[in-house]
Amino acid sequence: MKLNNLLAIIITATLISCGGADNGPNPTPTPTPTPTPTPTAKTLKEAAGFPIGMIVSASRLAGSDTNFRTILNKEFNSVTAENDMKMAAMFTGPNTYDFSKGDAIVAYAKANGMRVHGHALVWHNSIPNWLQNYAATDAEFEAQVKGYIQATVAHFAIEKNSSGKSIVESWDVVNEAFTDGAYAAIFYRRIGVDYVSKCFTWARQADPNVKLFYNDYNLESQGSKASSVVDMVNTFKANSIPIDGIGMQMHVDYAAPSLTILTTNLLTIQNTGLLIHFSELDMTVNKDKALTSLSQDRANAQKAKYKEITTLYKTIPAAQKYGITIWGLRDNDSWLLSFYGNQNEWPLLFDSNYGYKAAYTGFLEGLQ
């Protein structure tokens, strides 16, 4: 009997603790502690509210270097052909074009959810030899250039994404016209002083939707050059010449231009109301060739400057942001090494082994 009473007491207590034999309030259970998850680091394209671009080539995209493609697909959502979509690569003879490398880049971009920024229809440093020596009248020369621009823009407008937008969303129509080299080149001499405006008009005639950019260097550092570009834009607007954006190349140094100069010149360009593309960003850190390896102090200074630049870009009104394109993936890929004759230069976000540098962290921090 005593055993039965004991069992009854245990059963009753169990029911009460489970809430099955009592309608009174239940005791609040002590929650099981949950570890705070480690925040997942965002990629560049995830952190930015605008496209982040990288230069590519058809051969690099098709090559055996899977590291390049892995980082490209992970971090970037816009690509620019470094050379494959320039005039010298595509305009192979009178009324004759080879778009195969550009097509390969477009196909890759489409398959991986990226846009393509076309670079560059007309540049005085990318003229095919046959056109440079074209023995014809100036009118016939102009007709060849017009035909090339319109054929190229129309061709690359064809391939669309799932939303019906052309994969090639934009073009640098003319590159670096405010230079001595451009003034001495055949476009200026054979088409005339208005060749830039003609090129933009021809491009618009070929595609009413593509974004048309003027692209140049030192716009971030030289107020006089920035003002010259703004004067050109104002002349275009007054004469109904189409232009949608300005590419500020942004080949900068870790120590210059200062934030004040960068801000002043950006505002000059921004006041046009056009789209703004930081189109060829890279950053020297050893122009005096004093270093034989990237020191921690210099790496930190580069990190800070990259952060400064991406933070500055975020101040642009949303409707004018077209994105930031970085001019090379690894340090040893950069054109700056040969340009300055200096193999001890580290201008980009990744080292020669595809390692993430402090510069990458600074760039990312500026986006966040």
Give the residue numbers annotated as catalytic, written as ranges: 176, 280
Q: Which helix (H) or strand (E) holds 96?
A: strand 96-97
- A 10 A CB-CB count for 4 gives 8
Q: How far apart are CA 194 and CA 202, in angstroms?
A: 13
| DSSP reduced 3-state for 251 | strand
Q: Are 361 and 368 in contact (CB under 8 A)?
A: no
| DSSP reduced 3-state for 171 | strand
- Amino acid present at 252: V
Q: Are 344 and 292 in contact (CB under 8 A)?
A: yes
For residue 200, give both structure tokens.
């933009």
Query: DSSP string spanning 294-332?
Result: --HHHHHHHHHHHHHHHHHHTTS-GGGEEEEEES-SBGG
Q: How far apart are CA 314 and CA 110, in angstroms?
A: 27
Q: Are 366 and 311 in contact (CB under 8 A)?
A: yes
- A 10 A CB-CB count for 268 gives 16
Within 8 A by CB and 6+ apart from 86, the residues are 119, 120, 123, 126
Angle 20-21-27 from CA coordinates, rounded to 5°: 70
DSSP single-letter state for residue 360: H
Chain-centroid distance of CA 188 in Å reads 29
Cis peptide, bond prior to residue 290, ω within 30 of zero: no
Phi, psi of 356 (to 5 degrees): -70, 125
